[in-house]
Amino acid sequence: MTTVQSPPAPPTAIRPRVVARTGLYAVLAANAAVVAYFFAQAGFASNALIVIGRLFGLYGALVMAFQLVLVARLPWLDRRIGMDRLTSWHRWTGFALLWTLLAHAVFISFGYADGAGVGPVTELVDLAETTEGVLRAIVALGIILVVGAVSARYARRRLAYETWHFIHLYTYVAVVLAFTHQVAVGTTFTASSAAKAYWYGVWGVALGAVVLGRLVLPLWRNLRHQLRVSAVVHESDNVVSIHITGRDLDRMPAQAGQFFLWRFLTRDRWWQANPFSLSAAPDGRTLRLTAKAAGDGSAALRHVKVGTRVFAEGPYGAFTALHRTRSESLLIAGGVGVTPIRALLEELEGHAVVIYRVSADRDAVLYDELRELAVAKGADLHLVTGPPVPDRLAPRELARLVPDIGDRDVFLCGPPPMMNAVLRSLGDLGVPKQQIHFERFSLAG
């Protein structure tokens, strides 16, 4: 692939992120309206508690289907919204889903208990024993409660990514149980074959999206490109670059600023996939990642052998030239956050200023490359060193280094505290939000 030099979008164009977000909301709103229509059509022949409980159940299931689309990793959505934002929405709608389904169970139990003159727990046990599909729903809710608990920030930080992810996969079991429960006992669906067909359609699309984005596309791309490690370069004591070759790489739709989930098929690490950004713009012949040792998986990359097969899911991410709004740019990197910045510098058209923030000169990996690129492209490069405090990228410092900062797109990647400080500085300097683009090196936070 030849590097695409992407000019900024014309000022009148609707931003890609806004298009994708509006599309998602519109689809959700349209489906919410269809659900309400079928619900009303089925009639309200029960007491108010049961009616409210059923409505919670229907909307809970709709949110569940929407949840699947958010994490399906569909390229069109991912390039426009970004996996970080999609994952964050998935996280928050996940908690909303949990409360909606709990409300469904509580309202239904109280509603039926009211009619039968017994307590809600007795009624729930009775329903589970006598009504087809209710036990499945209780198991589904139990699974979702466990997934919700391990996804709470406190638990999430204490679990290895893989453990959390493995538990999370049980939601697919919950999805199947919940769906079969609904079509078996949901009055909206037992009353109307059109409603049933619609519901099968909704779930077919949602599950189809997951199968396509998470299974078919990655398998197809890896079969096609046959990726292998072609070189391993030690950049410093704890940073290594891995060069990867493969077939037809000019057909890989990757852009500077994007990342892949890399799985190196060695005997002891094939089970682990880690996200790493491209640290050079793809040139149609090779891909390169540069990884700092943060844990066992990234540290083991130093020992990967040339020739090792690689399974890569991606490219993912919206930290790309697609979102440009201005013809000039400011690229700010902190530490190993330099990887996508280095690739973007190669790809972006127009004048660029690069600020590379590190604690000491020796931490500035890829600096020589950055300097050569800056010279070749006529970009200004500033290496800013020193301890985190005092803040060397405070508003006054930034304005001094880049006086026309308000007229540039800003691309930012670095450690969270540095990024938060720079985002505050950019806000103080009045840089419009749509000109600020950033990549956080965490997805499931």
What is the contact surface with ligand FAD in residues (CB under 6 A)? 160-161, 259, 261, 273-277, 289-292, 294-298, 336, 339, 441-444
Strand order across the 329-334 sheet: 380-385, 352-358, 329-334, 409-413, 436-439
d(CA 71, CA 220): 19
Kindly state the smallest distance separating residue 160's Cβ from ligand FAD, in Å: 6
The answer to whether the beta carbons of residues 232 and 240 sit under 8 Å apart is yes
Query: Which residues contact residue 206 at a Cβ distance below 8 angstroms, ignoring those fewer than 6 apart?
Result: 65, 66, 68, 69, 72
Handedness of CA 196, 201, 204, 207 (dihedral sign): negative
Tell me whether residue 113 or residue 338 sits nearer to ligand FAD (CB atom). 338
Using a 10 angstrom Cβ sphere, with 0-12 exposed, 13-18 middle and 19 or more buried, the burial of residue 215 is: exposed
**Nearest residue to ligand FAD on Cβ basis:** 295
State how far the Cα of 443 lies from the Cα of 440, in Å rounded to an integer. Answer: 8
- Cβ-based nearer residue to ligand FAD, 142 or 445: 445
Between 151 and 277, whose beta carbon lies closer to ligand FAD?
A: 277
Q: Measured from the CB of residue 30, what is the shortest distance to ligand FAD in angstroms?
A: 31
Smallest distance from ligand FAD to CB 81, Å: 14
Tokens, residue 297: 């998986």
403: preceding bond cis by omega (within 30 degrees): no
CB of 439 to ligand FAD, least distance (A): 6
Separation of CA 337 from chain center: 18
Please tell me whether residue 98 adopts helix, strand or coil conformation. Answer: helix
Choice between 155 and 294, CB closer to ligand FAD = 294
The three-class DSSP label of residue 235 is strand
Measured distance CA(226)–CA(234) in Å, rounded: 24
The distance from CA 270 to its chain's CA centroid, rounded to whole angstroms, is 22
Kindly tell me which of 11 and 154 has the beta carbon lying closer to ligand FAD: 154
Least distance from C-beta 290 to ligand FAD, angstroms? 6
99 or 166, CB closer to ligand FAD? 166
Cα 60 from chain centroid (whole Å): 22
Q: 57 vs 414, which CB is nearer to ligand FAD?
A: 414
Q: Report d(CA 134, CA 125) in Å as an integer.
A: 9
Question: In the complex with ligand FAD, which residue's Cβ is closer, 109 or 290?
Answer: 290
Alpha helices in 169-233 (DSSP H): 171-185, 187-190, 193-210, 217-225
Minimal distance, residue 157 CB to ligand FAD, in Å = 8
Q: How near is the Cβ of 255 to ligand FAD at its closest, in Å? A: 14
For the bound state, the minimum distance from the C-beta of residue 219 to ligand FAD, rounded and expressed in Å, comes to: 18
Which residue lies nearer to ligand FAD by CB, 186 or 334? Answer: 334
Give the separation between CA 93 and CA 62, rounded to whole angstroms: 11
Q: Which two tokens stand for residue 361?
A: 């000169």
Least distance in angstroms from the C-beta of 292 to ligand FAD: 4
| Contact (CB, 8 A) for 53 and 203 | no
Q: How far apart are the C-alpha atoms of 364 and 383, rounded to whole Å?
A: 8
Minimum CB separation of residue 182 from ligand FAD in Å reads 32
Contact of 429 with 405, CB cutoff 8 Å: yes
Q: Which is nearer to ligand FAD, 38 or 262 (CB)?
A: 262
